[in-house]
Structure 1
Amino acid sequence: MKRYVVKRIAQYVPVMFGVTLIAFLLINVAGGDPVRTMLGTEASEEQVQMIREDLGLDQPLYVRYFDWLGDVLSGDLGTSIMYGQPVSDLIVQTLPVTFWLAGGALLVSIFIGIPAGIVSATRRNTKFDSGATIAAYSGIAIPNFFLGILLILVFAEYLRVLPASGFVSPLADPIQGIRHLILPWIALGTAQAAIVMRYMRSSLLEVMDQQYVEVARSKGLVPALIQNKHSIMNALIPTVTIIGINLGYLLGGSIVIEEIFALPGFGRLALNGVLNRDFLILQGVLLVTAFLFTTVNFVVDILYTYLDPRIRYE
């Protein structure tokens, strides 16, 4: 296991290097002038050129890339053109908001999706199975931004029981923090719950038809023991994979929900970077997102060994 962990950590280097190169090239060939965006249309060409020289934007692309990469390796992600603050400080300020949002949405998907998938599989071809399947397809089909707007209309505008926007850290005020996050959690976690439910159901049905489960039944083992020890644990392996992928998506793909509910998170920072052509923010966001996604997948691989002792990494 230790050897495998070292090998996986070593793989971070080429992955992150590839991400930095691709991100830098795509962002810089996308067009748009961040200096012109910052100064506005009233600025003269002399002013624009002077700022470009100060920021190093007049240098060739490869020079700018290696300058930026050298700063990144020293822990400096640059200074935002739009905010005038270090990009690393902006990420540290906004990332906890996204962690709260993504973590809660992930819990919603797990606590709804896994039990619903288990009950749906064990009660195959019943009314509950049909209803759960319809609900799952509906959850996947409804866009999260549309669901978010509906939730605001119903619970914030009509019933007035939950706030429509804003963020309060649950660490500072647990009650108000959770109240502000309930609607975003539901809006973002519903589709993920539907996906987890479908994976759990199909995986459990496949496991229940395996020969070793039939042997356990023929030995007269208690059905609950067969289900909990032999079926569900093995069915969780592909489900954990999709949960890990969902977490990576939630961390990097919560832009729309953060914008709808006015959450000052990581995704909203990326959106502002796009709208204002702030290349350094975008590069920093992509770098951190790639690191988080690869870390999540690494943790998922380690969890496999606990779910199935037969799996061993060398």
Structure 2
Amino acid sequence: MKRILSLFSVLFFVTLVTFVMTDLAPSDSAEMYYLSKGITPSEEVLNETRHEMGLDKNIVVRYVDWLNNFVHGDLGYSYHYGQDVNQQMLSKLPNTLKLAIFSFVVVLAFSIPLGIYSATHRHSLINSILKNISF
């Protein structure tokens, strides 16, 4: 039971941090929508689109709305502005896979040598630091 509560608290914290970081990004979903189409929208059009998307609401209200939709199974995978979300995701899959493979290689390139060092220098200061960082 303790692990389940821990899982939910970590999940809540991760979604909250991700939501806040996304909100702090220099552009929002409305602006990115137009820029992805090669359109430079006016401020009036952006404000109208932000209102339609609910981006003009307070961040707390938007997060609670998102959390409510998530709990009720509405993940927002629907048709928006004439494009299927699944189709958009599939079009981005090759670049996502490239990034994931590259990240995996970089992680291996660092973690294997550091793991070997830690195993051969069990009680050193550097080993303690590496254990704390990796934890």
Taking structure 1 as the reference length, what is the TM-score of the superposition? Answer: 0.29
Partner of residue 54, structure 2: 56
**CA displacement at 1:18 relative to structure 2:** 1.3
Q: Distance in 2 between matches of 1:190 and 1:7?
A: 34
Which ranges in structure 1 are unaligned for 5 or more consecutive residues? 1-5, 103-183, 208-237, 246-296, 298-314
Q: Deviations over 1:209-250 (max 9, x none)?
A: xxxxxxxxxxxxxxxxxxxxxxxxxxxxx9xxx8xx6xxxxx
Aligned CA RMSD, in angstroms, stands at 4.0
Q: For residues 52 and 12 of structure 1, do their structure 2 counterparts lie closer, same or farther at Cα, with a shift above 3 Å needed? A: same
Could you say if the C-alpha distance between residues 201 and 22 of structure 1 is closer, same or farther in structure 2, counting changes exceeding 3 Å?
closer
The Cα of 1:54 is off from its aligned counterpart by: 1.7
CA positional deviation for 1:66: 0.8
Structure with the larger RCO, 1 or 2 (CA within 8 Å, 6+ apart):
1
1:200, distance to aligned residue in structure 2 (A): 2.7
In structure 2, the residue matched to 1:36 is: 31
Equivalent in the alignment of 1:122: none
Q: What CA deviation, in whole Å up to 9, does each residue of 1:111-167 have, x standing for no partner?
A: xxxxxxxxxxxxxxxxxxxxxxxxxxxxxxxxxxxxxxxxxxxxxxxxxxxxxxxxx
Larger Rg: 1
Report the AA paired with residue 7 of structure 1. Answer: K
1:90 corresponds in structure 2 to: 89
Q: Distance between the aligned counterparts of 2:106 and 2:16, measured in 1? A: 35
Tell me which residue corresponds to 1:217.
none
1:71 equivalenced with 2:66 (yes/no) = no
Give SS of 2:73's match: coil
> Cα–Cα, structure 1 residues 201 and 29, in superposed 2: closer, same or farther, change >3 Å?
closer
Unpaired runs of 5+ residues, structure 2, are none
Deviations 1:20-52 (A, max 9, x none): 2222122213332432342332x3444333322
Deviations 1:37-77 (A, max 9, x none): 42332x34443333222211122222111111111222333
Are 1:35 and 1:52, in contact at CA under 8 Å, matched by a contact in 2? yes
CA distance in 1, matches of 2:32, 2:119: 51
Residue identity over aligned pairs, in percent, reads: 28
Aligned length: 117
Does 2:26 match 1:27? no
- Contact in 1 for aligned 2:30/2:53 (Cα 8 Å): no
Counterparts in 2 of 1:195 and 1:50: CA distance versus 1, 3 Å? closer
Partner of 1:13 in structure 2?
8
The answer to whether the 8 Å contact 1:71/1:77 transfers is: yes
**2:119 equivalent in structure 1:** 203
